[in-house]
């Protein structure tokens, strides 16, 4: 290994940074890209039938922007888009989005796929970083700009007679690796073509196509773009973070602080390489701060079950908010703190959730308290007391709790495993009879 072949990502120069002093006060617009970005990362891509079922789950969760396909990439994507439209499977308040490379033949096919759509987002993109410009495409800056401008002109021409509501989105792909001056120049040229208004806004999407920089630098770049884009008041600034550095959620949160109005991502962070922004974690994060998440999260365990079955991807047991063991404590000290915190919260002495080691109330996602505290040889009197209090309604005194804690430890050591709730209850009943 040699770290010397890598260089540090450049900071944004001469920026008057404002985002660091702000707070998120409302949920952004969410755009699920599961059916496109997530799907293209699967070993076994979804069938049309699976895509329809997945789409219905996204609608049930409350997504209003859903990127459904890359119509020019495959017949499956094209046919799926047509099926959604022709069979009237899209709710009236949902925009479906298609991804379109800035090439005329692919633009044409994508527009054909969206004929008859009631609400459609046409998402045009082309690569913009230095390597892609010079090495992959071997084009000048002017030629890359022309590709975007002419592509958008052609897209507008083909969609001008659409009866449904049309929104145009442009992405300088690989934005995080694109020179800022060039990024704002190409975006402004495309904005000049679209001519957005308050009634007909356009989306400028600024992705971490490869997460190349720290979240704070990404936020600086977003803020700089927001301050230098033309016609900003008529734009929806969107971000599309990937998770190559493991900080996609942080990048999205800071980007929203920096002026982004919209975030693109997937359920549980599915996507190429290390994945996309995990929209579920993002939404729960703002929920835990007392902000309406604008997504229905109450049945998230059902969503997770569907996701795992359909994608054949297992969600980690310690995945934030939704992992099987995310609310579980074995440590005696933690268990004691949780019990006391729960008792205090239930006493109504405090209206805000502040239970140690539990980021949100498990009841909010229909989790039973049974799984919060699990008992093994590392557990103490607090955990055992919680189980007896929660499921028998008995409050042990201090001496009784200490004695029972020792019994529990001995039993778990003897069996060399954790004890089930019913086993703990039976041990307590035996103790009670012997007293």
Write the CATH number for 233: 3.20.20.70
Do 47 and 89 share a structural domain?
yes
- The two tokens of residue 135 are 């090495």
Do 307 and 337 share a structural domain?
no
Q: Which helix (H) or strand (E) holds 223?
A: helix 215-228
Residue 139 is assigned to a structural domain of this protein: yes
Angle at 211 (CA atoms; ends 135, 81), nearest 5 degrees = 85
Do 174 and 239 share a structural domain?
yes
Do 261 and 340 share a structural domain?
no
Q: Distance between CA atoms of 405 and 403, rounded to whole angstroms?
A: 5
Residue 324 is assigned to a structural domain of this protein: no
Do 364 and 288 share a structural domain?
no
Q: What is the 3-state secondary structure (H, E, C) of 321-355?
A: CCCCCCCCECCHHHHHHHHHHHHHHHCCCCCCCCC
Query: Where do runs of H (alpha helix) occur along 62-179?
Result: 75-86, 104-113, 130-131, 141-159
Do 362 and 284 share a structural domain?
no
Do 142 and 285 share a structural domain?
yes
Residue 356 is assigned to a structural domain of this protein: yes
Q: Residue 65, class by beta-carbon neighbours within 10 Å (0-12 exposed, 13-18 middle, 19+ buried)?
A: buried
Residue 7 is assigned to a structural domain of this protein: no
Domain of residue 109 covers 16-311
Do 352 and 236 share a structural domain?
no
User: For 358-386, b where at least 16 C-beta lie within 10 A, e where not — what string?
Assistant: bebebeebebebeebbbbbbbbbbbbbbb
Q: Residue 398, class by beta-carbon neighbours within 10 Å (0-12 exposed, 13-18 middle, 19+ buried)?
A: exposed
Q: How far is CA 156 from CA 99, 113, 151, in A?
A: 15, 15, 9
What's the pLDDT score for residue 380?
61
Residue 319 is assigned to a structural domain of this protein: no
What's the pLDDT score for residue 370?
62
Residue 11 is assigned to a structural domain of this protein: no
CA max distance for the chain? 88
What's the pLDDT score for residue 336?
75
Do 366 and 296 share a structural domain?
no
Half-sphere exposure of 336 (CA within 13 A, CB side): 12
pLDDT mean values, one per 10 residues, the chain (435 residues): 93 95 98 97 95 98 98 95 98 98 97 98 94 80 96 98 97 94 98 98 96 97 98 98 98 98 98 97 98 97 98 96 86 76 80 89 85 68 76 83 82 83 84 72
Residue 1 is assigned to a structural domain of this protein: no
Q: How many domains does the chain have?
A: 2
What's the pLDDT score for residue 159?
98
Residue 427 is assigned to a structural domain of this protein: yes
Do 275 and 364 share a structural domain?
no
What's the pLDDT score for residue 212?
92
Do 73 and 159 share a structural domain?
yes
Do 368 and 256 share a structural domain?
no
What's the pLDDT score for residue 430?
83
Residue where one domain finishes, among candidates 266, 281, 311? 311
Q: Distance between CA atoms of 300 and 264, rounded to whole angstroms?
A: 19
């Amino acid at each position: 290994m040699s770290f010397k072949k890598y260089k540090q990502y450049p900071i944004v120069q001469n920026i008057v940074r404002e985002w660091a002093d702000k707070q998120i006060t409302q949920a952004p617009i969410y755009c699920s890209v599961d059916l496109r970005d997530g799907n293209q990362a699967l070993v076994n891509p979804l069938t049309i039938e699976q895509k329809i079922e997945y789409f219905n789950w996204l609608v049930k969760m409350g997504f209003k922007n859903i990127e459904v396909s890359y119509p020019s990439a495959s017949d499956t994507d094209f046919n799926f888009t047509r099926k959604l439209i022709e069979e009237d499977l899209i709710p009236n308040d949902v925009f479906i989005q298609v991804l379109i490379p800035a090439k005329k033949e692919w633009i044409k096919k994508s527009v054909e796929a969206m004929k008859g759509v009631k609400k459609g987002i046409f998402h045009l993109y082309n690569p913009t970083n230095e390597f892609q410009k010079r090495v992959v495409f071997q084009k000048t800056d002017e030629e890359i700009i022309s590709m975007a401008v002419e592509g958008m002109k052609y897209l507008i021409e083909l969609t001008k007679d659409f009866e449904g509501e049309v929104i145009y989105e442009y992405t300088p792909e690989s934005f995080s690796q694109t020179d800022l001056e060039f990024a704002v120049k190409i975006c402004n040229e495309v904005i000049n073509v679209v001519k957005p208004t308050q009634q007909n806004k356009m989306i400028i999407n600024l992705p971490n196509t490869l997460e190349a920089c720290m979240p704070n630098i990404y936020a600086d770049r977003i803020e700089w773009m927001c301050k230098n884009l033309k016609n900003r008041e008529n734009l929806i600034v969107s971000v599309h973070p990937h998770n190559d550095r493991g900080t996609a959620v942080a990048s999205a949160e800071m980007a929203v602080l920096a002026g982004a109005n919209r975030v693109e991502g997937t359920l549980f962070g599915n996507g190429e390489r290390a994945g996309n922004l995990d929209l579920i974690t993002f939404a729960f994060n703002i929920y835990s701060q007392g902000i309406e998440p604008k997504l229905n999260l109450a049945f998230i365990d059902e969503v997770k079950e569907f996701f795992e079955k359909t994608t054949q991807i297992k969600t980690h047991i310690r995945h934030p908010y939704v992992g099987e063991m995310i609310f579980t404590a074995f440590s005696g000290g933690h268990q004691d703190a949780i019990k006391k915190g729960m008792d205090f919260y239930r006493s109504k002495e405090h209206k805000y959730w502040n239970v140690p080691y539990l980021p949100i109330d498990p009841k909010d996602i229909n989790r039973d308290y049974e799984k919060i505290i699990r008992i093994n040889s590392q557990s103490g009197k607090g955990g055992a007391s919680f189980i007896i209090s929660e499921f028998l309604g008995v409050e042990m005194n201090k001496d009784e709790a200490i004695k029972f804690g020792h019994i529990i430890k001995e039993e778990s050591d003897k069996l060399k495993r954790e004890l089930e709730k019913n086993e703990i209850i039976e041990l307590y009943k035996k103790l009670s009879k012997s007293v």
